[in-house]
Amino acid sequence: MDLRKLISGSDIRGKAVGEDAQLTPEVAQRLGTAFALFLAEKKAMPLRDVVIGLGRDSRITGPALLKAVADGVTRAGASVQEYGMCTTPAMFMSTVTPGFAPVGAVMITASHHPWDRNGLKFVTADGGLEHSEIEKLITLAEIAHADVPAEEAGCVCPMPFLPTYKRQLADRVRKGLATDAEKPLQGLHVVVDAGNGAGGFYADLMAELGACVNGSQFLDPDGMFPNHRPNPEDPTAMAAVSKAVIHAGADLGVIFDADCDRAAVVDADGREINRNRLIALMSAILLAEKPGQTIVTDSVTSSGLHAFISARGGEHYRYKRGYRNVIDEAIRLNKQGASCPLAIETSGHAALQENHFLDDGMYLVTVLIVEAMKLKRQGKTLGALIADLKEPVESTEIRLGITAEDFRAAGQKAIDKVLAYAGTCGAWHIAPDNREGVRISFDLDGGSDNGWFLLRLSVHDPVLPLNAESDIPGGVRQMLAALYDVIKDCEGLDLSALVSAIR
């Protein structure tokens, strides 16, 4: 097969079950060999000195794929630290933790995707591989079926890493609460929903730190994900944890995706705190500590969030979708002298400067639990911090398919047409921070800046995602109807979803 079809941004991902499986053990073995060769070249070291950490989430294909990657690594002459069940953020932390410190690490996961898919995420102590490095890795894998000259095969050493990662999170709790107490979370009630992914151990961590975890659910790893999708953006998943929090009378609930690089929380009243609310909550905490800081988000964040951050003395910096894009931009801004403590997507990917700018949902939740403990002592909840966040009356996301063979050119042509029209129409205001696609704001029904839409190219797919929000009833339909009039004659677009939205 064409291995390049497995590339998904900076990851490898594909169907791993069935006769039409793309990510097979054979392919995984070749990728293991390729990663060993890649690291040896990148670090200018002999293969016998290359050590690679391997871990997986709960997917049913995880054990076989992990073994295959390990076989590929050792076949090349490099060695393996096998961590077993793990999380994606923990895989990175292994590379900077004394006593482990592999040259690189591979996480076997497909994140929030269905049970029959799987993937590989590659990291070094410098962070995740860039897209160009994944391209190089695939090139190496395409020739990795040939015999690799190794005087001696490497070895596999079982070294569970999660106990060490748990201690690191526990240390963050005690540091945040300025205490050495054995049970610093005594009196806090936390419901944990792991979605049958790799994060069930977090309930054990909370209990060890003194929190009550009654009502926690779906903690056991089960790669079929029988209860709900392991996805903090999934409505069914969020409804499940909200219900559990209310039923248990907990102070808050936390939910992870399968590999725990994304998370969301639920307040004591069952209110979901994800997407813009989650960004607002973290911004409130960080800006209370140090006003004037810059919060980097993806491009689809709301106008209400922008006002919320500004009101707290912060700067809201919208950037391109894609968690690597957001993180890299935050790092760049800090190098230029800005104070930027957080890079976060509405999807729940969040990276803190204090934590290596690693997108770690579990670390994020740990910071929030520290704040929840402080607030409980004052008789407050996390929701109190975002009580003044203005939320839209209406919001929608539509995905417009691109049927043209050169989908990027066709999509960009539509975006350019919208930009050109906006430049000549006084009622369409191009956003001053338009860094991806085209974001247009509107003054609806005599109001001011009370509606917007963003049309952009998908990072990977032949799709134009369209997001729209309005502060007045019927505003979304008004804006989408106006957009349709501008792009209705664009070739190579499937506008049926847009037509349905304005009927």
* pLDDT score for 460: 73
Going by C-beta distance under 8 Å and a sequence separation of 6 or more, which residues neighbour residue 45? 39, 103
Q: So which residues are the catalytic ones?
A: 111
* pLDDT score for 9: 79
* pLDDT score for 220: 98
Name residue 265's beta-bridge partners.
Answer: 254, 273
Tracing tokens 């009654």 back to the chain, one arrives at 214
- At residue 411, the 3 state secondary structure works out as helix
| 386 to 245, 311, 391: CA distances (angstroms) | 19, 12, 11
Rounded to an integer, what distance in angstroms lies between the CA atom of residue 370 and that of residue 177?
7
The predicted-structure confidence for 141-180, as pLDDT tens digits, reads as follows: 988 665 565 678 899 999 999 999 999 999 999 999 999 9
* pLDDT score for 322: 86
Phi, psi values for residue 463, rounded to 5°:
-145, 145
The predicted-structure confidence for 226-274, as pLDDT tens digits, reads as follows: 999 999 989 999 999 999 999 999 999 999 999 999 999 999 999 999 9
| 438 to 144, 418, 461: CA distances (angstroms) | 43, 7, 18
* pLDDT score for 145: 62
Taking a C-beta distance cutoff of 8 angstroms, is the pair 406, 491 a contact? no
Taking a C-beta distance cutoff of 8 angstroms, is the pair 318, 297 a contact? yes
**pLDDT tens track of the chain, all 503 residues?**
788 889 887 899 999 999 999 999 999 999 999 999 999 999 999 999 999 999 999 999 999 999 999 999 999 999 999 999 999 999 999 999 999 999 999 999 999 999 999 999 999 999 999 889 999 999 999 886 655 656 788 999 999 999 999 999 999 999 999 999 999 999 999 999 999 999 999 999 999 999 999 999 999 999 999 999 999 989 999 999 999 999 999 999 999 999 999 999 999 999 999 999 999 999 999 999 999 999 999 999 999 999 999 999 999 999 998 888 999 999 999 999 999 999 999 988 999 999 999 999 999 999 999 999 999 999 999 999 999 999 999 999 999 999 999 999 999 999 999 999 999 998 999 999 889 999 999 999 999 999 999 999 987 789 999 999 999 999 999 999 999 999 999 999 999 999 999 98
Task: Give Rg (Cα) of the chain.
Answer: 23
pTM of the model: 0.93
* pLDDT score for 169: 98
* pLDDT score for 149: 59
Angle at alpha carbon of residue 347, lines to 345 and 349, rounded to 5°: 55
Show the domains of the chain with their CATH numbers: 3-160 (3.40.120.10), 165-386 (3.40.120.10), 394-502 (3.30.310.50)
For residue 354, the number of C-alpha atoms closer than 13 Å in the C-beta half-sphere is: 10
* DSSP 8-state assignment for residue 314: -
Rounded to an integer, what distance in angstroms lies between the CA atom of residue 37 and that of residue 493?
42
- Written as six digits, the tokens of 58 are 């709960």
